[in-house]
Structure 1
């Protein structure tokens, strides 16, 4: 029987240790003949000079000339370039050698940009699977063990508060000292033999190892891995993406087990283990690398895998293709986003939400949009007709050249098509109402697919996308606008009125005095015409579209909060009641991460009161009762916590904001908070200056600022009543008019 494919990998001193899952646990195999490669293209004489220099470099195992496609355009027409393949002694040597080629070998004797580098910045495990053709998808059900330690305890190095699978070790075993906690953890590791450690923070790995050593545990008596030892793979970093500051904590590895750091895994928090396993299968990234990868990184990995395996295209280190020259008219038409219909602010009854299923990915697949097909540079014959021209822009979209690659599908459709098919199949299976374990797994897989599909459109306009191209981004938008306008015309001709629309979703209601055609019939006709399914997402008893505030607070300092009575609502700012009785919320406070739980729950109560009574005064009655709870001190402090993201170091802030006050308190406690990380606090005295303005969640006792949270409640109430024309001035006047509370105010 053949040996199962490995699921985890360790790299050290030019060797690779593969870990294969078995029925009993996992076995390892040492591989000593792996030499990772990078590729270099350039003029023949320059490559010859570079090759001579690299052959005497101790980091280089071998060099040779090979033929590869260096971009999708070459692969599209069946061309290949001669490139220099450089095999390195160790995985860590690849990026170092790439820096030397740029900074030493090129800058010294060649013009900048002489060399183009490929397959440089790949994660080690992904690179290894790519080179060896390994599928690291787990071959059996994975066993997990979750370890949690609060930020305060982590910063203090106190492992006595460790929780295993959500249960406090001290409470469970009656011993809260570090020695007992580590003994319990050791026994649990031996008993469960987990394949995956799910930790609340990666720094738990060195902390537990260091405490064990301090307490006298020998290396073979306590270790988180299947064998002793641990390795730091990367230090913590701060980055900026799409104008938003993010933070990546340090990453660690232990032998024979994958680590999922929940503070650094978007996909785990969205889709859990099932979503991670699905993306392992789709990308060929090992589980641990999949867990810390962003959605864009996972999409890129899937593209690199397909490009290498089926198109023989290398992955460029840097995006090389510039935006092509366009005349002013084309630039004006192209420099637009998706189509948006201005929402009709107010309260609307009998509303239906319809949307195009995965609009942007389906546009890519339906119209064959890909970097090599949009205004392709080669002369492939007279195969372009009007049906292959992008609306408004006139870009020509050529057909794939079937003899050039494996299959006759353009690159991006080949990447996204299987994901769309899988999601459709999952939807059909969920419609059959499977048992909960299977249904949960299917929902997780569908969620993972959704996020990757969402990123596929924006990726085309991303400046560092390895296979991105701005003309593709523009073409997708142009098709989306054309589709939205087509749907609008058909719906209005059939007697429906559009009360809001944004890119792929429309909200419609019957036109007054008109007996409209069946919505399902119109949906079917639109779907057939545009080639993309338009689906009835839900029916609403009523929907409120919220107007736009003149001044929107930045989350830390309150603006005026006044509403423009005739202004458009925020593009996805609405709430409504479905015909099934459930509520849907978008954009308002209770959907915002920074909103305290008490305010969010109160806003839901405001919506429910509006639904019951359909009168603003009834909502104000509920607000009055909630304000009373605040003033009496009846609100649990934990429900008043505010969570906000840090955008810069403490020293870089110029204003004395609440975030600064929280950062100062974290610093007092020895807890390091970097840009991109979040802080949590309760506002204790908003008029104070400095750290006394707030309290951290784990600080015992303390009071809250009643007036501050009262203003938050009024603001949340204003969002609910603003579609009916009420602003906070009118709300406060209603609170002062001495009315007796309605009985409905006491109903949640």
Structure 2
């Protein structure tokens, strides 16, 4: 809907539906309190930072003079550094050109160091504007739909927030095989407004025409599919191309459906295949069979993760929870004026073989006593590793800091590392609100009787649990933006000490230990 024909005023209240880069700013799709959808434009200019040898920097700036950018010298700091350093800020006036410009500079000027150069533009926009997916907002706009100001009126840390009244159209296949990629004859089934209809067209053109009519009639905010990324949308788009019929999948008529190719990767001894993605503009597409988050936490959990991580809903549905926790760290770093390196350059400190055996022991395990046991109790620590990181200030920049090397209170149990006692680290700052919010949800669950409300609360707390679960692994992951193995080792050292203390306390109370593993006994 165009703003000047719909409104006589310039203030909107409602929800932020979708955000993506446009030629002169960020395209913002907005659902107002009266149920109207608007396409707005925020004249936002994303920025990246440069530093390096003066000769290479001068050459890069000479190249940038021929592009639509603004350049200024600013002061920022790297993670773990107390002092700021001068860097060149390059604000790109055409966000659609941001990625291509950065990649071109990286190829041409290898000696330079780039920062904030590969953060997703919607995420960078959310960080800078202090917004998040499906945020409730107030917007000041011109009659041409140009945003003058936009701010969130709720917080990602609220536990009782209003979810927008999203219109949803579900699309699936009815057939003999559970996976259409394995072959078979199928019928397209559409569910919308509590009704289900099976499309039985006379030919392919009739199928596309009927589907387009449904999209235009209901204009859904969200398209939820089964096998949409790997089968449904690729087949529909292929037919549309062959028959030269334009599918109304996008609300933005100037955009094509975004396609990401399938890929596979090795993880924990297995080859994992990903179906790629078919994402939309102005409308959201979620594939139930290509979303770990949807499978584990449901739609309410997906919304929860997108809100706290500031990862767009379509991307959060298809990415890992590790990407979510990384985004939260990136936001905290960006907000604190910390430079986010294009490629991680920190290396592991040298250790002798003896030091490696001593420090890298992992979690503590007591083998179970064989036999049949009665009157057995269990002690399980809630979110043990994330709680340790928050409680003992374990973060890449706080482990083995220069300021607390001789403070006995800062020592990590049984190994040579220590943690900072003077400044809170990036990882604890990221995890603390997650731990607090999950605790609030669990308290609400215990106090709530209604099954529907409990179901939503459980999905939300499970979504936060998964973010907390991966936070420890990413602390030691070699490719994590803010990972460091010494921090990883410090967490497991504290966990071993805490589990031993729990064992001794239980035995002092007259119990006999049967089994213990990492965070429970």
**TM range, normalised to the smaller chain?**
0.7 to 0.9
Q: CA deviation at 1:284?
A: 1.8
Please name the residue that 1:29 is paired with: 40
Are 1:16 and 2:26 counterparts? yes
SS of residue in 2 equivalent to 1:82: strand
1: CA distance, partners of 2:210 / 2:512: 64
CA RMSD in angstroms comes to 2.9
Please name the residue that 1:62 is paired with: 70
Residue number among 294, 299, 324 corresponding to 2:325 in the alignment: 299
Q: Deviations over 1:74-104 (max 9, x none)?
A: 2xx3x21212223345445444444444433
1: CA distance, partners of 2:244 / 2:97: 37
1: CA distance, partners of 2:170 / 2:306: 20
SS of residue in 1 equivalent to 2:29: strand
Residue number among 128, 132, 137 corresponding to 1:135 in the alignment: 132
TM-score (norm 1): 0.59
Q: CA deviation at 1:185?
A: 3.8
Are 1:207 and 2:235 counterparts? yes
Residue number among 451, 473, 480 corresponding to 2:495 in the alignment: 480
Q: CA deviation at 1:359?
A: 0.4
Are 1:47 and 2:73 counterparts? no
1: CA distance, partners of 2:207 / 2:62: 58
Q: Alpha carbons of 1:427 and 1:151: their partners in 2 closer, same or farther (altered >3 Å)?
A: closer
Q: Deviations over 1:502-546 (max 9, x none)?
A: 10011xxxxxxxxxxxxxxxxxxxxxxxxxxxxxxxxxxxxxxxx
Q: Deviations over 1:17-36 (max 9, x none)?
A: 210012324211134x4433
Q: Alpha carbons of 1:46 and 1:210: their partners in 2 closer, same or farther (altered >3 Å)?
A: closer
Q: Contact (CA 8 Å) 1:157, 1:207: kept in 2 or not?
A: no
2: CA distance, partners of 1:265 / 1:500: 35
Q: CA deviation at 1:430?
A: 0.7
1: CA distance, partners of 2:185 / 2:256: 20
Q: Alpha carbons of 1:351 and 1:167: their partners in 2 closer, same or farther (altered >3 Å)?
A: farther
1: CA distance, partners of 2:189 / 2:180: 9
SS of residue in 2 equivalent to 1:6: strand
Q: Alpha carbons of 1:497 and 1:456: their partners in 2 closer, same or farther (altered >3 Å)?
A: same
Q: Alpha carbons of 1:332 and 1:253: their partners in 2 closer, same or farther (altered >3 Å)?
A: closer
2: CA distance, partners of 1:159 / 1:30: 41
Residue number among 6, 17, 39 corresponding to 1:7 in the alignment: 17
Are 1:389 and 2:389 counterparts? no
Report which stretch shifted further, 87-96 or 259-268: 87-96
Following superposition of structure 1 onto structure 2, how do residues 118-267 of structure 1 map, counting pairs within 5 Å?
118-139=115-136, 140-149=164-173, 153=180, 160-164=187-191, 169-170=197-198, 178=204, 181-182=207-208, 185-200=211-226, 201-203=228-230, 204-212=232-240, 219=246, 223-228=248-253, 230-267=256-293
1: CA distance, partners of 2:100 / 2:184: 35
Please name the residue that 2:480 is paired with: 465
Residue number among 77, 101, 105 corresponding to 2:109 in the alignment: 105
Please name the residue that 2:113 is paired with: 116
2: CA distance, partners of 1:288 / 1:175: 30
Q: CA deviation at 1:40?
A: 2.1
Q: CA deviation at 1:351?
A: 1.9
Q: Alpha carbons of 1:202 and 1:387: their partners in 2 closer, same or farther (altered >3 Å)?
A: same
Select the structure with the greater relative contact order (CA < 8 A; seq sep ≥ 6): 2
Please name the residue that 1:646 is paired with: none
Q: Contact (CA 8 Å) 2:51, 2:114: kept in 1 or not?
A: yes
2: CA distance, partners of 1:169 / 1:155: 24
Q: CA deviation at 1:313?
A: 1.0
Please name the residue that 1:338 is paired with: 363
Please name the residue that 1:502 is paired with: 517
2: CA distance, partners of 1:90 / 1:157: 46
Q: CA deviation at 1:384?
A: 5.5
Residue-pair matches, total: 476
1: CA distance, partners of 2:440 / 2:13: 31
Q: Which runs of 5+ in 1 are unaligned?
A: 107-113, 402-408, 507-748
1: CA distance, partners of 2:208 / 2:434: 43
Q: Alpha carbons of 1:271 and 1:415: their partners in 2 closer, same or farther (altered >3 Å)?
A: same
SS of residue in 2 equivalent to 1:280: helix
Q: CA deviation at 1:332?
A: 2.4
Q: Alpha carbons of 1:99 and 1:211: their partners in 2 closer, same or farther (altered >3 Å)?
A: closer
Please name the residue that 1:737 is paired with: none
Are 1:271 and 2:297 counterparts? yes
Q: Contact (CA 8 Å) 1:18, 1:28: kept in 2 or not?
A: yes
Q: Alpha carbons of 1:383 and 1:237: their partners in 2 closer, same or farther (altered >3 Å)?
A: closer
Q: Which runs of 5+ in 2 are unaligned?
A: 1-10, 137-163
2: CA distance, partners of 1:298 / 1:278: 11
Q: Alpha carbons of 1:95 and 1:245: their partners in 2 closer, same or farther (altered >3 Å)?
A: farther
2: CA distance, partners of 1:371 / 1:216: 54
Q: Contact (CA 8 Å) 2:410, 2:418: kept in 1 or not?
A: yes
Please name the residue that 1:427 is paired with: 442
Q: CA deviation at 1:188?
A: 4.0
Q: Contact (CA 8 Å) 1:295, 1:455: kept in 2 or not?
A: yes
SS of residue in 1 equivalent to 2:498: helix
1: CA distance, partners of 2:19 / 2:69: 21
Please name the residue that 1:606 is paired with: none
Are 1:349 and 2:349 counterparts? no
Q: Deviations over 1:411-466 (max 9, x none)?
A: 21110111111111111111113312221111011011110100111111101111
Q: Contact (CA 8 Å) 1:400, 1:410: kept in 2 or not?
A: no
TM-score (norm 2): 0.82
2: CA distance, partners of 1:102 / 1:216: 39
2: CA distance, partners of 1:432 / 1:55: 61
Q: Deviations over 1:39-91 (max 9, x none)?
A: 223244543343234434x4x523332211222x12xx3x2121222334544
SS of residue in 1 equivalent to 2:187: helix
Please name the residue that 1:523 is paired with: none
2: CA distance, partners of 1:152 / 1:489: 52
